[in-house]
Structure 1
Amino acid sequence: MKRVLLALLLAAPIARGDLLLNEIRIDQPGGDDDEYFEIFSTDPANDSLADVVLLVIGDGPGGSGVIENVTDLSGQSLSSPWFVAAESTFTLGTADFTTSLNFENSDNVTFALVQGFTGANGDDLDVDDDGVLDAMPWNSLLDAVALLETTETPPTTTEWAYPSLGGSVGPDGTFVPGHVYRSPDGGTWEVGQYDPAGGDDTPGAANPAPIPEPSTATLLLLGAGALFLRRRA
């Protein structure tokens, strides 16, 4: 029965659409005043947030896989490629949507952007705590990312994360990342600065582009130059 259920769950629609999670802050030094998440749209003129919901999957009385946060974006609109949802204490930019977030910041947590959510906050999606979701109460999965405190499996100091939904980022040393972002927009997830004073938060604006690796030719020229200077010395 378990195999049949798992097969049905894996067949659930996963739509990698034009809306992507692009930047998230869950922690910072002192009070968590600047928690936020950013969505990146590749086509803001035509994309819609109708029936779009952000879910945070963490733990609860039921163990792993419990929905800790539900942020309904229905009624919101896109005025640029970047849509920012933040708390009323937010100081890192201008939020398009002000709401209560209260993200957990000491465990593995999984963020999922879904459409057609039919569940509720507090639902346990991993009833037997085996790291495999037993329920996916949404019509389509737009994007997801797991923020990791540890890659240990099974985890012994935290709950399960669910990177199979859309990948993972972290840990940051021995901690879950306080800030993550895609580099460039819509690209690969990177661990950002824990302290916003580090300056790599860009809510509502383009994320930093990756620094290109030096080409082989450049490395050869640098090596030849160093050798020449050494011989002259």
Structure 2
Amino acid sequence: MSCMNTAEPRSRLRSFHVFLCASLLVHAGVLMLPLKPPITTAAGEPFNRLFAVELLMPEDAREENATAQKSAAPPALPDPAPAPQAKKPPAAKPAASEKKAPVREATVSLDRLSDADAQYRFYLGHLRSKISAEWQYPPEASNRGLSGTVSVRFSIAPSGRLTDVSVTNSSAHSLLDDEALRTIRAAAPFHPFPQEFTIEKLNVSASFEYEFSGR
């Protein structure tokens, strides 16, 4: 019984020694394996592989980055203003003589009054009265027995002032012609135009008939 017990520990010790030796041999074989050299290029330099790595940005960070890029972008320049057009020089003003409107005037006759001249009837009566008060037969013409008819034309301003007088048809006797002109000048000035007159000058024609009657 004791022999069997002594043999069993020895058998276990032997098995342990065998396992230990086998383990040492395995590790020694691993250590003795030849090491593989690193991959080299044709020039004999070690070949290092490069890997491209892309870092992904979170969604919120991408939106913030896009907003920052938009705000950092320079503002759009406004469209250039159109070039100012050259102003045309003002048209030359007409001369004073060109701007002056024609004078409004009327022509009437003391010898005969037409219906168109009815508005001047009262004023013509005033002219006849003043002219008749100055008209006379020249004494020298009477002594010489001169007769004839003189036609004259004279113009009156709105104030009643005489502006012109001339002989339009001579009597063939200067004494009679001059007496007609003197009569008109002596009768002036006349009354101013009434307010209803819309004219700036009144032209009047008149005839003076001198007839000598012997005594």
TM-score (norm 2): 0.18
Q: Which has the higher strand share?
A: 1
Q: Which has the higher helix share?
A: 2
